[in-house]
């Protein structure tokens, strides 16, 4: 029997996160105390009223059967109402909303829906690595949209050469951004709509962190821009909004042709999310939103604690606008080497910037999804690392 996998599978990038987490687990199993700030995995529980809604719904035998292939209309309506209330965006729940098995799945599926071999996808660099998988599976090509600090970590469309513009069919964006933790202003999205309309490029806006507005400022949705639904869609997730990462509830909203294509593909992959989870998601979106405000306040306190601590240790850092800190590496060390030293010598795990692309080199990403006492411990270890090496001074 020949078990060699298809080339598309062999070409898939391996997850550096999985490899590092396995190493961390080995260290912890050996009795070492590691402060893991590598992953973006929420550490707090799902709010009780959402858990109670799940308990109630799973006791209803009607939720034990297959649901609609494209998801419950009541969940689509709840998502539409949420967009109207928070962003002033009107969506048709029947044609402009698709339910996803987590936003991550949809971010892979959209490339499979719209990219043929040889097509070009414009990819932010640095970017969330899972965007790459769908492009690889579609046998398409990626061209970078470099994100530079001096440009506010926003792409400069003037830098895209004419040949690339002509070949491009899809473009990813992500604000609030992972890993750089910046937000995008309205005029950037207006420029994006003009660029996409002129060159007939589909925009895939990842808005996974959009519900967490720091310092009283609500992140802007791409769909708030005039003409946005004509050129693209937005992906949202309940994972960070309600600490529901393990529930795998996401959605893609906007352009009805893109939504229809993703629904068609998913008919062959899934029979939608379990109905009891979908109903609990309705309770999350339509119920009290105080829990989101409280969660945001927790993350702000953690951010302020961490930023003050690393600045005291001599490490310059911009104030994050999301749940990650994007820290420049001192000296000339590569990000992988620096992160390895930090893990080996200080027992603090961070994500090397090169994991997110070529233009992520020179940085490390720190997750703030850890209790304050663990962040304090991380800061103390970073300060000690600084004193021992002189690298951060």
Query: What mean pLDDT comes out for the span 190-202?
Result: 98
Query: What mean pLDDT comes out for the span 48-72?
Result: 94
Q: What are 87's two structure tokens?
A: 């962003």
Span 225-284, pLDDT tens digits: 999 999 999 999 999 999 999 999 999 999 999 999 999 999 999 888 999 999 999 999
User: Distance between CA 222 and CA 237 in Å, rounded?
Assistant: 15
> Does the model's pTM come out above 0.85?
yes
Return the beta strands (E) in 54-108 as ranges: 97-100
The H-or-E segment that residue 348 falls in is strand 348-349
Cis amide prior to 179 (ω within 30 degrees): yes
Q: Which of 240, 150, 258 is nearest to 203 (CA)?
A: 258
DSSP assignment letter at 320: P
User: Distance between CA 25 and CA 31 in Å, rounded?
Assistant: 10
What are the respective helix, strand and coil percentages of the chain, to the nearest 5? Answer: 50, 15, 35
- Within this chain, domains 7-46+290-389 and 66-286 share the same CATH topology: no
Span 337-349, pLDDT tens digits: 999 999 999 999 9
pLDDT of residue 144 exceeding 90: yes
Confidence of residue 62 (pLDDT cuts 50, 70, 90): very high
> 35: how many CB neighbours lie within 10 A of its CB?
23
pLDDT of residue 388 exceeding 90: no
Please check whether residue 252 is in contact with residue 91, taking contact to mean a CB–CB distance below 8 angstroms: no
Confidence of residue 331 (pLDDT cuts 50, 70, 90): confident
Query: What mean pLDDT comes out for the span 4-30?
Result: 87
pLDDT at 158: 95
pLDDT at 389: 67
3-class DSSP assignment, residue 270:
coil
Question: Which of 128-137, 232-241, 324-333 has the weakest average pLDDT?
Answer: 324-333
3-class DSSP assignment, residue 354:
helix
pLDDT of residue 120 exceeding 70: yes
Please check whether residue 134 is in contact with residue 110, taking contact to mean a CB–CB distance below 8 angstroms: yes
DSSP assignment letter at 224: G
CATH class (in words) of the domain with range 7-46+290-389: alpha beta
pLDDT at 391: 57
Residue reference for tokens 């002033």: 88
Query: What mean pLDDT comes out for the span 321-333?
Result: 90
The structural domains of the chain, with segments of one domain joined by +, span 7-46+290-389, 66-286
Query: What mean pLDDT comes out for the span 64-78?
Result: 93
CATH number for region 66-286: 3.40.640.10
User: Distance between CA 57 and CA 292 in Å, rounded?
Assistant: 22
């Amino acid at each position: 029997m020949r078990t060699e996998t298809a080339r598309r599978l062999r070409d898939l990038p391996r997850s550096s996160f999985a490899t590092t987490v396995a190493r961390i687990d080995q260290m912890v199993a050996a009795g070492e105390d590691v402060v893991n700030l590598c992953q973006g995995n929420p550490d707090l529980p799902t709010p009780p009223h959402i858990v109670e809604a799940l308990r109630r719904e799973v006791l209803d035998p009607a939720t034990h059967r297959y649901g609609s292939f494209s998801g419950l209309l009541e969940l689509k309506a709840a998502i539409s109402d949420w967009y109207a209330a928070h962003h002033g965006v009107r969506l048709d729940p029947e044609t402009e909303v698709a339910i996803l098995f987590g936003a991550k799945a949809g971010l892979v599926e959209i490339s499979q829906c719209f990219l043929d071999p040889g097509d070009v996808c414009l990819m932010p660099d640095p970017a969330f690595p899972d965007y790459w998988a769908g492009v690889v599976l579609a046998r398409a090509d990626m061209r970078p949209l470099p994100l530079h600090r001096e440009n506010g970590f926003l792409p400069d469309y003037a830098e895209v050469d004419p040949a690339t513009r002509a070949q491009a069919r899809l473009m990813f964006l992500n604000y609030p951004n992972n890993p750089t933790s910046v937000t995008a202003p309205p005029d950037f999205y207006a420029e994006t709509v003009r660029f996409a309309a002129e060159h007939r490029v589909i925009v895939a806006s990842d808005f996974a962190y959009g519900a967490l507005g720091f310092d009283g400022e609500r992140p802007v949705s791409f769909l708030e821009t005039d003409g946005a639904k004509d050129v693209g869609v937005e992906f949202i997730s309940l994972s960070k909004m309600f600490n529901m990462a393990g529930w795998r509830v996401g959605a893609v909203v906007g352009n009805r042709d893109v939504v229809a294509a993703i629904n068609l593909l998913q008919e062959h992959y899934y029979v939608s999310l379990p109905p009891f989870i979908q109903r609990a998601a309705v309770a999350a979106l339509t119920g009290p939103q105080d829990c989101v405000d409280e969660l945001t306040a927790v993350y702000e306190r953690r951010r302020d604690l961490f930023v003050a601590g690393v600045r005291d240790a001599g490490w310059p850092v911009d104030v994050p606008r999301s749940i990650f800190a994007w820290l420049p590496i001192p000296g000339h060390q590569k990000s992988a080497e620096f992160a390895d030293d930090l893990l080996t010598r200080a027992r603090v795990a961070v994500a090397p910037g090169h994991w997110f692309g070529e233009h992520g080199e020179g940085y490390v990403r720190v997750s703030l999804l850890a209790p304050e006492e663990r962040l304090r411990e991380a800061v103390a270890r970073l300060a000690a690392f600084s004193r021992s090496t002189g690298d951060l001074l």
